[in-house]
Every structure is written in structure tokens, then in C-alpha cells.
Structure 1
Amino acid sequence: MPANPSDITEATRATLGDRPDSPCIGICSTLFDDICQGCGRTAAEVSHWVFLSDEEKQVIWDRITREGTARRFKPG
């Protein structure tokens, strides 16, 4: 899961500062699989979030944004 720090650009690091501290939206559900229906992270990503480096968080943000399936990305 760790990202290679050399793959993270300054522009990418800046985007972390523009985002909330966490992808969590307070609608936690892993009822049907290991992915939270609210934020799109795995249970392990949720439980380890505070210990992850900025690079690791960026990789997760990029993935959940790209997938766009979590409620975080659904209108209304």
C-alpha cells in the first residue's frame, strides 16, 4: 500500500492540503464487502488512516476519487 515518495509531485502534495483531513463522511458501512460505502476506503485504510504518510493518503484519495463509487462522490 505505501506509495513511492519519488512518484509524488509537489502539485499532488498540494492537493492533500485542499482536502478534508479524512475521506470519512460519517456514513460508515462495510455490510456487503470490505469497502466502506460512505468513503470508499477499506476497513484497514480507515483504521490506519491517522498513521499513514501524506503519500499513502494521496494514493488512497486518488483511488477513491477515480473509482467514484462511494457516497462521498454521489450528489445529494
Structure 2
Amino acid sequence: MSSDKKLPPNRPDTPCVAVCSTTFDDVCRGCGRTVAEVANWVFMSQTEKDAVWERILSQGYPRRNS
């Protein structure tokens, strides 16, 4: 088993909410991740994912209706 820490309770592995749109900038209007973060998500460590989660949650993401 990996040494990465486990997910916090009630948090999915990915912030994706299937509202994928980066039409006007480099940030998805559904999950709040950058295009690079979305593309590299499966390769990121849990620590890196946690940092993204903290940022997007503080910015009011993920959003199902954008």
C-alpha cells in the first residue's frame, strides 16, 4: 500500500462534477482545476491533490451549476 495519506471522509478522489468547461480561461468552471491539473490528476501525489482540493474548496468549487 502507498505511503500517501488517505482521503478525508466524504471526499471523492476527484473534484470532477462532469461540468467541464474552460472556454474563457484556463480554469474549469465545474471543478475549479486548471487544465494542467485536470490532465495530470491521475499522476499527482495525494499531497498535491490535497493542495488542489484546499484551493478549489476555498474558491467555492466544485460547482454543478456554473
- Please report the TM-score for the alignment, with normalisation by the length of structure 1: 0.70
Mark the runs of 5 or more structure 1 residues left unpaired by the alignment.
1-12
Structure 1 or 2: more helix by fraction: 1
Which amino acid letter does the alignment assign opposite residue 52 of structure 2?
I
Between the two proteins, the alignment pairs up a number of residues equal to: 60
Tell me the residue number matched to 1:40: 32
Aligned CA RMSD, in angstroms, stands at 1.7
Mark the runs of 5 or more structure 2 residues left unpaired by the alignment.
none
Tell me if the contact between 1:30 and 1:37 (Cα under 8 Å) persists in the aligned partners.
yes
Residue 17 of structure 1 deviates from its aligned partner by: 3.8
- Please report the TM-score for the alignment, with normalisation by the length of structure 2: 0.80
Residues 36-71 of structure 1: per-residue CA shift (max 9 Å, x gap): 000000000000000000000000000000111542
